[in-house]
Amino acid sequence: MSRRVRDAMLAASNYTPISSIPLVDQLVAAGVALTDIYAYSPRKLYSAATKGVSVRRSNDNSVIDIGFDGSGNVNLSALSTHVGANTGTVQTLYEQAGNAANMTTGLTTREMQVINAGAVRTAGNNNRLCLYVTASDMGYLTTMPTPITNALNSAFMICSHNNAVTASVPRYLSLMTSASTGDNASASTGVLICRNSSSSPTTAWSILRNGSVKGTVSGTFGQLDQIAAIHDGTNATMWLNNATSNAVGSGGSFNATRLVMGLTGSTFNMLPGAQISELIFLRTAANSTIRNIIHADQASYYGVA
């Protein structure tokens, strides 16, 4: 077992969570329908979940499912045993709320990294496992069991961005039709969370809707944050660590059939150096109670503001 893995396991063993109840269970208790929750993370988010990710090791392409330890953290011991001194990448992000919406990617070159030559990729003040972006054309997608046919949706991500110069718009989370790969201009597609980039680096996290920026908050390059986008049917609100800057018209309804994290096969991509630790997507507009529950749990676990 590598020193990096031992340190990560020690940090996890010394951690006292804000709640012993998994986050999805908290949301259900607060009134969110389980069928409206899409939950992705290496840690345990739902009491009935048994696995968070499947991980490929670089030396022989062997893939196994990785579950959780007794505290609900990713099972770092099983992960280290499987990958060893090799590099480990995530083949599948399992949807933990039981909605049959696992995120996959068809090419191994598009898989995000969790171990680099035996060293665990971690982020945040609590050194939690993260998915690390090593190249631009990377990401995962899933077909939704029931398409979204209105603008009521919310997205919460624990992630960071880098300061690479780009003229494109690096995407972290998008809603897409079954035919679209990178078009954010039509009424049926949109980008919930992205970095509002231009020809020079910017720290702004943004929402895109019909090709226009609908809400923006500024973070810090390389810092793990909770980024949230909430559409209530009229307004698109952007949140950074549970603090908002503005709310603007959303410009129509989403009619998406796919949920995309990162974006594969398009000129609009992730940026190398970006990190993603967790995604909670809701098929409803999160009210302040739901927003506070999610922020409190994620901020405590990941050590964000």
Question: What SS3 class is residue 299?
Answer: helix
pTM here is 0.92
pLDDT confidence of residue 48: 98
Mean pLDDT score of the chain: 88
Separation CA 41–CA 278 (nearest Å): 5
Separation CA 153–CA 268 (nearest Å): 22
Contact present, 88 and 58 (Cβ < 8 Å): yes
Q: What tens digit of pLDDT does each residue of 189-233 get?
A: 788 999 887 778 889 999 887 778 888 999 999 999 999 999 988
pLDDT confidence of residue 244: 79
Element housing 83 (H / E): helix 76-83
pLDDT confidence of residue 246: 78
Strand partners, 279: 40, 157
Identity of the amino acid at 126: N
CATH topology of domain 3-302: Jelly Rolls (2.60.120)
